[in-house]
Amino acid sequence: MNVRAATAQDAAGIVALHKAANPYKGWYRNPFQELGRVRYEDLTSLERWMHGGSWMDLSLFRRHFHEYQRRGFPVLVAEDAGRIVGECEVWLDEEPEPFGRYAEAAMVASGSPPSPDVERDLLTWAAERVRKMGYGQLDLSPHHSGGESVAHELGFKSLWDTRTFTADPKDIQRPEEEFAARYLAGDYGDLAGLLALNHREPARFRYETLTALWPGELMAGLQDATKLVAMAVDAPHGRFTVFGVRREWLDPKVAEVDVWIDADALRDRDRLEESFTIAVEIARKLGTKRVDAYAPPGAAQVLKKLGFAGGEEPNPWLRWTF
């Protein structure tokens, strides 16, 4: 097996690798309800995207891959007898602590079922690549990127844990104090210094996919199929940002609520309570009967006091320091 830098000529092989691991075991107009089974060739780009993202469609993946190349982000492939058997995409970024400046294996794919040998080689090569680029660690969010089968063996340790909490908006109290909110101008720079509490993927990538700025999502037409409210809030206890998104293809409808706030707020229960109360108030604009909010386990007591349930399932962000 040979691990090397990916080229544009590998795009079809990478897409074939992901298509073969389609978690729905078939192709549907709506895979979430397994409705409208059709041939893959009859699906739109958006319908293919629903089966697993930009990796499920060659045109979308080419734009995705081009964006990685444009930013200087490493993409590796594992090749065996001329066939692509794995890929690893590395995201490079810098965020507020505890993340700091980091490299993350944002995608680790090795077929279905995953191959520990392929994943091990890809992550080892990725670590060596980013070390030469001046990074002292490689991060991994295994529930969203893959690589879980060998993460602990290689030395990855937990750095962050995003939990999902659920509520009916009518069960959450309305804000008691006045607050000012303005719509974001659409620039990631507006989030400077704020920590994304929903850190299951790089914050910038989350922002670009939520706002349909990421090329693959833009090409797929997600902007037309997504309702988004993004607001900067000035509240009595401080400032923060709220993203609320409703994906039109999901039924029952759910509003995903992301709170971005300064790291000090995690130690201040009053600020957390105020922030999530206002966040739900903003999310009411999306008109759903269910709200999913995301936060580390240390915020569970505050969220459950407000009326949220859940938060038991770990969703770790891991770091391998060399």
The answer to whether the beta carbons of residues 73 and 90 sit under 8 Å apart is yes
Task: Give the chain's domain count.
Answer: 2
Averages of pLDDT over runs of 10 residues in the chain (322 residues) are 97 98 95 92 96 97 97 98 97 97 98 96 98 97 96 97 97 95 87 96 95 91 92 96 94 94 96 98 94 98 98 98 96
Task: Say which residues have a Cβ less than 8 Å from residue 59's Cβ, sequence separation at least 6.
Answer: 45, 219
Exposure string of 120-131, with b = 16+ CB inside 10 Å and e = fewer, is bbbbbbbbebbe
Calculate the CA 102 to chain-centre distance: 16
Contact 279, 259 (CB under 8 A): yes
Residue 47 lies in a domain: yes
Contact between 127 and 279 under an 8 Å Cβ cutoff? The reply is no
Whether the CB-CB separation of 197 and 161 falls below 8 Å is answered with: no
Give yes or no: residues 85 and 179 share one domain.
Answer: no
- 286 and 178 assigned to the same domain: yes
178 shares a domain with 121: no
| CA–CA–CA angle 94, 97, 99 (5° rounding) | 50
Task: Please report, for the domain that includes residue 169, its CATH number.
Answer: 3.40.630
Mark whether 127 and 199 lie in a shared domain. no
pLDDT attached to residue 59: 97
Residues in the chain: 322
pLDDT given at position 186:
75
Tell me which H or E stretch contains 247.
strand 238-247
pTM metric for this prediction: 0.95
What are the φ/ψ torsions at residue 237 (nearest 5 degrees)?
A: -95, 0
User: Is there a single domain that holds both residue 179 and residue 297?
Assistant: yes
Separation CA 19–CA 122 (nearest Å) = 19
pLDDT score recorded for residue 214: 94
Please check whether residue 36 lies inside any domain of the structure: yes
Are residues 101 and 184 both part of a single domain? no
| CATH number (domain holding residue 103) | 3.40.630.30
- pLDDT at position 205, please? 96
CA distance 134 to 190: 27
Exposure letters 185-221 (e unless 16+ CB within 10 A, then b): eeeeeebeebbbbbbbbbbbebbbbbbbebbbbbbbe
211 and 268 together in one domain: yes
The verdict on residue 72 lying in a domain is yes
CB 255 within 8 Å of CB 289: no
Do the domain assignments include residue 95?
A: yes
| Residue 41 domain boundaries | 2-155
Q: Which of 94, 121, 155 is the last residue of a domain?
A: 155
Which residue is associated with the tokens 């309570």? 273
Query: What integer pLDDT is reported at residue 192 of this predicted model?
Result: 87
- Clarify whether residues 140 and 214 are in a common domain: no
Nearest by Cα to 275 from 165, 179, 161: 179
Separation of alpha carbons 273 and 265, rounded Å:
10
